[in-house]
């Protein structure tokens, strides 16, 4: 392993990319420490601490995506969530709107135009989300109040402008990694933000140990149980991320000029987890809507009203929350795979290249066969995502031990690590070096 790392750094251009990526991550972490004026970070941290469940509630999810910047009321408080949302929206509209679909098929120039549309969409979402966060924080007494109405309006505009500027800067940093660094920029920044919460996890272990020493002997078993469960989840995620169904394909022989070409055997790889972590992001956004409405309307207040009780039913500390979350992940997994993988297009490409699946007739039979395989594989991958995401929530509901890290963060960590290592591996193999995956 050490020799592999030395080989990676011995390649000048690869070393430059790795160091540049580390530099961008360093700038990102500086931005998460720059406070936004007129916000009471102490009141915000108190609000965050009162909402148990870690990443499994609205503010905890925002804090996860921002790398801990939200709970500290810093410049990057909104993180990259508006950019991720904009990418998802444009990706969905590319399938639904013919003009965007034509742009996606125009090659490099079309992708540049789509990227520009995504950037403008990110800024628009940043404004909307910044205004929403401002009113949410104001209702929770996190925003400092002044006697002058004009000053309060200025404070609100300034806070929203800081949130939007931070979002734009994070988007730019991610794009710089894509251009000059190694790995996917947004994924790398997400990875860095989640890793930065490591000291918080260690403090949680210390708290459990203190509880065990003070008389709660059961906590002596919590720490090793959580460590073993974490290692098992990591192994399971790696196994599922690398698992795929190989559909065999036979290409017919044909005469091309004076040569006989074709007659080769190949396969279509269909990954078990084709949608990645996107269904979890979709489902988290939808299932957090009741909590968002409750925070916007009531803030930190707890009135004895019907609507407050109704919205509280969908909070993360009730059993309804993980049930809805589980169902939404499965539904969004099918939805995402449907717009990403078209069996009709795959069957047409096979037909154009004189390829066929052994034992399956071309045309409708091939489409039906591929649809059945993709449907079954998607169900397996969706169940995998649902279990990983929901189990920590259920444990918190029944045991109330306060696990602040969950399946979403672990899936992101493992997925980004595998993706980045694969990219380094491919670049090293191009230069005849042995890599990480040997």
Model confidence at 138: pLDDT above 50: yes
The answer to whether the CB of 410 falls within 8 A of the CB of 170 is no
Binning pLDDT at 50, 70 and 90, where does residue 158 land?
Answer: very high
Q: How much of the chain exceeds pLDDT 70, in percent?
A: 85
pLDDT for res 60? 66
Q: What is the mean pLDDT of residues 141-167?
A: 87
* Average pLDDT across the chain, whole number: 79
Query: Do 7 and 428 contact (CB within 8 A), yes or no?
Result: yes
Average pLDDT over residues 341-357: 82
Q: What is residue 3's predicted lDDT score, i.e. its pLDDT?
A: 64
How far is 39 from 11, CA to CA, in rounded Å? Answer: 46
Distance CA 113, CA 100 (A): 9
Question: Among 114-123, 138-147, 337-346, 429-438, whose mean pLDDT is lowest?
Answer: 429-438
**Cβ-based neighbours of 91, under 8 Å, separated by 6 or more:** 339
Over the stretch 373-426, which tens digit does the pLDDT of each residue have? Answer: 988 898 888 888 888 888 777 777 666 655 555 667 787 788 788 878 878 877
Q: What's residue 56's pLDDT?
A: 47
Contact 369, 347 (CB under 8 A): no
pLDDT, tens digit (0-9, with 9 covering 90-100), for 159-206: 999 989 999 999 999 889 988 888 888 888 888 888 887 777 777 777
Q: What is the pLDDT of residue 63?
A: 74
Q: What is the pLDDT of residues 49-77, one digit of tens each?
A: 665 444 545 566 677 777 777 777 788 88
Asked whether the predicted pLDDT for residue 1 surpasses 70, the reply is no
SS (H, E, C) the chain: CHHHHHHHHHCHHHHHHHHHHHHHHHHHHHHCCCECCCECHHHHHHHHHHCCCHHHCHHHHHHHHCCCCCCCCECCCCCCHHHHHHHHHHHHHHHHCHHHHHHHCCCHHHHHHHHHHHHHHHHHHHHHHHHHHHHHHHHCCCECCCCCHHHHHHHHHHHHHHHHHHHHHHHHHHHHHHHHCCCCHHHHHHHHHHHCCHHHHHHHHHHHHHHHHCCCCCHHHHHHHHHHHHHHHHHHHHHHHHCEEEEEEEECCEEECCEEECCCEEEEEEECCCCCCHHHHHHHHHHCHHHHHHHHHHCCCCCCCHHHHHHHCCCCCCCHHHHHHHHHHHHHHHHHHHHHCCHHHHHHHHHHCCEECCCCCCCHHHHHHHHHHHHHHHHHHHHHHHHHHHHHHHHHHHHCCCCCCCHHHHHHHHHHHHHHHHHHHHHHHHCCCCCCCC
Cross-strand pairs, 267: 248
Residue 24 clears pLDDT 90, i.e. is over it? yes
| Mean pLDDT for the stretch of residues 286-311 | 73
Q: How far is CA 138 from the centre of its chain?
A: 28
Is residue 315 over pLDDT 50?
yes
pLDDT of residue 102 exceeding 70: yes
Cβ neighbours of residue 275 closer than 8 Å, sequence gap 6 or more: 332, 333, 336, 337, 340, 378, 381, 382, 385
pLDDT value of residue 263: 62
Structure tokens at 128: 């909307």
pLDDT value at residue 425: 77
Q: Give the pairing of strands 265-271 and 244-251.
A: antiparallel
For 123-132, 195-204, 267-276, 429-438, which range has the lowest pLDDT when averaged over its residues? Answer: 429-438
Tell me the average pLDDT across 140-165: 86
Higher per-residue pLDDT: 101 or 58 = 101
**Residue that wins the pLDDT comparison between 26 and 388:** 26
**Chain position carrying tokens 């030395």:** 6
Give, in order, the Cα–Cα distances in Å from 434 to each of 16, 414, 424: 19, 22, 11
pLDDT at position 23: 93
């Amino acid at each position: 392993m050490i020799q592999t790392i030395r080989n990676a750094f011995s390649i000048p251009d690869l070393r430059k990319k790795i160091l540049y990526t580390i530099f961008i991550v360093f700038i990102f972490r500086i931005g998460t420490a720059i406070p936004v004026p007129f916000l009471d970070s102490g009141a915000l941290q108190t609000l965050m601490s009162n909402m148990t469940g870690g990443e499994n509630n609205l503010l905890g999810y925002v804090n996860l995506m921002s790398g801990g910047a939200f709970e500290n009321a810093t410049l990057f408080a909104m993180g990259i969530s508006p950019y991720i949302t904009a990418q998802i929206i444009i990706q969905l509209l590319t399938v639904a709107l013919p003009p965007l679909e034509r742009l996606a098929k125009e090659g490099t120039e079309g992708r540049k135009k789509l990227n520009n549309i995504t950037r403008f969409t990110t800024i628009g979402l940043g404004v909307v989300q910044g205004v929403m966060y401002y009113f949410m924080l104001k209702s929770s007494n996190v925003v400092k109040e002044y006697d002058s109405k004009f000053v309060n309006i200025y404070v609100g505009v300034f806070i929203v402008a800081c949130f939007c500027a931070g979002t734009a800067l994070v988007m730019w940093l991610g794009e710089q990694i894509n251009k000059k660094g190694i790995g996917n920029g947004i994924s790398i920044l997400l990875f860095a933000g989640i890793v930065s919460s490591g000291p918080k996890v260690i403090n949680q272990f210390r708290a459990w140990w203190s509880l065990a020493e003070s008389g709660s002997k059961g906590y002596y078993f919590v720490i090793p149980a959580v460590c073993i469960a974490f290692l098992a989840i990591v192994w399971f995620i790696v196994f599922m991320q690398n698992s795929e169904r190989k559909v065999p394909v036979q290409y017919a022989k044909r005469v091309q000029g004076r040569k006989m070409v074709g007659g080769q055997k190949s396969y279509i790889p269909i990954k078990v987890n084709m949608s990645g972590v996107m269904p979890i992001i979709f489902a988290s956004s939808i299932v957090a809507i009741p909590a968002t409405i409750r925070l916007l309307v009531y803030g930190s207040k707890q009135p004895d009203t019907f609507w407050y009780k109704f919205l509280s039913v969908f909070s993360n500390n009730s059993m309804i929350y993980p049930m809805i979350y589980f169902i939404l992940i499965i539904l969004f997994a099918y939805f995402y795979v449907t717009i990403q993988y078209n069996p009709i297009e795959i069957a047409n490409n096979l037909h154009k290249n004189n390829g066929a699946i052994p034992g399956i007739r071309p045309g409708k039979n091939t489409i039906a066969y591929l649809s059945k395989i993709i449907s079954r594989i998607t169900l397996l991958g969706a169940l995998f995502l649902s279990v990983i995401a929901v189990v920590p929530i259920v444990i918190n509901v029944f045991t109330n031990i306060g696990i602040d890290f969950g399946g979403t963060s672990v899936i992101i960590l493992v997925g980004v690590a595998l993706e980045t290592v694969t990219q380094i591996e491919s670049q090293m193999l191009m230069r005849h070096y042995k890599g990480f995956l040997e």
